[in-house]
Amino acid sequence: MIQTTFPDRAVMAELVAKMLWEIKAVHFNAATPYKYASGIASPVYIDCRKLLSFPRIRSTVMDFAASVLMQDAGFEQFDCVAGGETAGIPFAALLADRLGLPMIYVRKQPKGHGRNAQIEGEMPTGARVLVIEDLTTAGGSMFKFIDAIRAAGGVVDHGIALFYYGIFSEAEERFAGGKVRLHHIATWREVLEVAKAQQLFDDNTLNEVEAFLNAPLAWSARNGGVAAL
């Protein structure tokens, strides 16, 4: 099915934030911060893979993703959709179906046996590839897949994250330097606004989350995490 309706961007972001809260994919905990692989201490954690387990929500989010891409990138800008191992693979299949495009997936490393393939599926040289991830923090993982696609002869000018942290300047610099335009539906700002509106946490927790979003590395340093990426 090819999505052709175009909801308001702010409405899409708010609805995705509400969906994430509804399925308990979002967690706030300022008292006992979460530790990311990068070493950052954070009062927020999100698991976008849970979207796959809720068909109505999953379908709506993919409709929104198709709408964002058509509005921001265009209608005939891609030859295939690529998902990165592992979280991006199912979302790539769903989005490719929405856009009426072929789908490929990219391993983190070459397979190590057989053809030693890193890219699975048909990707002709010069194919314009859209890379999708469930979420993007600072862009490092997405660029591992982008670099592999480019090395294999694909062209990557666009990426999409269903959820984008939107708080790290390093991410903006990485995508600008890598000449990739990042599209997204929702960020932590919308998630926080829903939490405030629905009074999901006490004021202290909400204030700590907002402080983290305004200055994540400084908050991390104050709470036992790294001070730089």
pLDDT digits (tens, 9 = 90+) for 1-11: 676 789 999 99
The region, left, alpha or beta by phi > 0 then psi within -120 to 50, assigned to residue 155 is beta
Residue 4 in domain = no
pTM of the model: 0.93
Closest CA to 62 of 137, 183, 162, 190: 162
Look at 163 and 37; give whichever has higher pLDDT. Answer: 163
> Can you give the pLDDT at residue 2?
72
Helix (H) or strand (E) holding 101: none
- Encoded tokens for 98: 């929405």
pLDDT digits (tens, 9 = 90+) for 86-139: 999 999 999 999 999 999 999 988 876 656 689 999 999 999 999 999 999 999
Residue 2 in domain = no
CATH of the domain at 193: 3.40.50.2020
Residue 1 in domain = no
pLDDT digits (tens, 9 = 90+) for 134-150: 999 999 999 999 999 99
Q: Per-residue b/e over 8-21, b at no fewer than 16 CB within 10 Å?
A: eeeebbbbbbbbbe
Residue 227 in domain = no
Residue 208 in domain = yes
> Can you give the pLDDT at residue 3?
62
Range of the domain at 136: 9-222
Residue 210 in domain = yes
* Cα–Cα distance for residue pair 226/155, rounded to 1 Å: 35
Residue 85 in domain = yes
Averaged pLDDT for residues 199-224: 96
Residue 228 in domain = no
State the total domains in the chain.
1
